[in-house]
Amino acid sequence: GAVVSQHPSRVICKSGTSVKIECRSLDFQATTMFWYRQFPKQSLMLMATSNEGSKATYEQGVEKDKFLINHASLTLSTLTVTSAHPEDSSFYICSARVAGEETQYFGPGTRLLVL
């Protein structure tokens, strides 16, 4: 149980295009989903927190107009990187949490390469 999927697993795009990443909790309802960014051999940096049906809360320094987050249902959250640039290339990981639990269930991640 407690499986989180992400799609796509890898994406290569041209500079200036937008990329949408989906995060789904497959067998549970996630009241809260988190989006992280991880550079090679570095730690996870929380980008934003989203609760179903409400606006995402972004961490300081994360542009909300560039990284659009939608949490439309208890099983789906999407991250759209708008007008992507090479510096946006990174490993993006989502996680989901059930209310009352401390465990975060992580998706497999999406490797984004912007050319």
Partner 1 sequence: GQSLEQPSEVTAVEGAIVQINCTYQTSGFYGLSWYQQHDGGAPTFLSYNGLDGLEETGRFSSFLSRSDSYGYLLLQELQMKDSASYFCAVKPGTYKYIFGTGTRLKVLA
Structure tokens at 7: 């799609």
Q: Tell me which residue of 40, 29, 11, 14 sits closest to 77, measured CA to CA.
A: 29
Shortest distance (Å) from residue 75 CB to partner 1:
18
Nearest to 96 by CA among 70, 75, 80: 75
* Nearest residue (CB) to partner 1, 89 versus 109: 109
82 versus 109: smaller Cβ distance to partner 1: 109
Q: Which is nearer to partner 1, 36 or 75 (CB)?
A: 36
82 binds partner 1 (CB under 8 A): no
Q: Total residues at the site for partner 1 (CB under 8 A)?
A: 22
Q: What are the tokens at 68?
A: 């659009």
